[in-house]
Amino acid sequence: MLSEKNIAEWRRRAPSLREAEVADGETFYRQGEAPGFLYCVTRGLVRLSHVAESGAQITLAIAQAGDLFGRVSPGRASAHTASAVGDARVLLFAPSDVDRLVANNQSFSSFFSSGLEASRERAERRLIDRQTKTVAARLIETLAELALAFGAPCPHGYSLEIRLTQQDIADLVHASRPVVTRIMNDLRRRGALDYRRDLICVNHLALQALAKENPAGL
């Protein structure tokens, strides 16, 4: 739905709609602030992170092209910080424009509803997986999804073209970093992962094979 035709139509109905280029590490809004816009990623990646009372920074999600984040309800402070991972491009919708477009434009209304539903389903699935799957199973599935979504072909399968630390990955699978490090080292010994400079290379076929086995043995 993020076609040039649709975006041009949305802009005619919402003149304040604009597109912005964002540099690596730049922050859209911080935890505790009320986001001024609804954002939609059109290129690149955005990290949504939360700082706990202990001071630890937790990566909640990585938003990619087509994903929505930011302000939906007016006046509500955000529970997370949104920042670019690498260079990114986003659409910015003022809250008043969101209401107008939802009410008067079918393509945007469908896009908006689908985006919110996809976000809800991802959150629900992560909660269910946390309660029903082992850390190893969650890690294998997450690495496979990251490889397909953000990877570039390489001799080992896919290299993750995003700078994610092992702590970031641990946060995404709701596990401690030492446990994730141990499992990733085991996956590397089994040929499912490799490292090149600051990139993680994922052997997607090897991960698929391990997923069909008993990941609890990792």
Say how many C-beta atoms besides its own lie within 10 A of residue 142's C-beta. Answer: 16
Residue with tokens 């190893």: 136
Q: Is 218 exposed, middle or buried (0-12, 13-18, 19+ CB in 10 A)?
A: buried
Query: Closest by alpha carbon to 166, among 191, 207, 135, 190?
Result: 135
Instruction: State the DSSP string of 148-181.
Output: HHHEEEETTEEEE-S---HHHHHHHTT--HHHHH
Q: Are 44 and 55 in contact (CB under 8 A)?
A: no
* Residue 101: HSE in the Cβ half-sphere, 13 Å Cα cutoff: 27
Give pLDDT tens digits along the chain (218 positions). 788 888 989 999 888 899 999 998 899 999 999 998 999 999 988 999 999 888 888 888 889 889 999 987 767 889 999 999 888 999 999 988 998 899 999 999 999 999 889 888 988 888 898 889 999 999 998 888 888 777 778 777 787 767 778 888 998 898 999 999 999 999 999 888 888 777 788 888 888 787 777 655 56
Phi, psi for 20 (deg, rounded to 5): -130, 140
Q: Are 174 and 130 in contact (CB under 8 A)?
A: yes
- The C-alpha atoms of residue 109 and residue 105 are separated, in whole angstroms, by 6
The CA-CA-CA angle for residues 6, 149, 122, to 5°, reads 80
Beta bridge partners of 48: 61, 82
Phi, psi for 134 (deg, rounded to 5): -70, 165
Residue ranges with strand state E in 52-156: 57-63, 68-70, 81-93, 151-154
- What per-residue confidence (pLDDT) applies to 71? 80
Joined together, the tokens standing for residue 13 give: 């109905």
Q: Are 107 and 1 in contact (CB under 8 A)?
A: yes
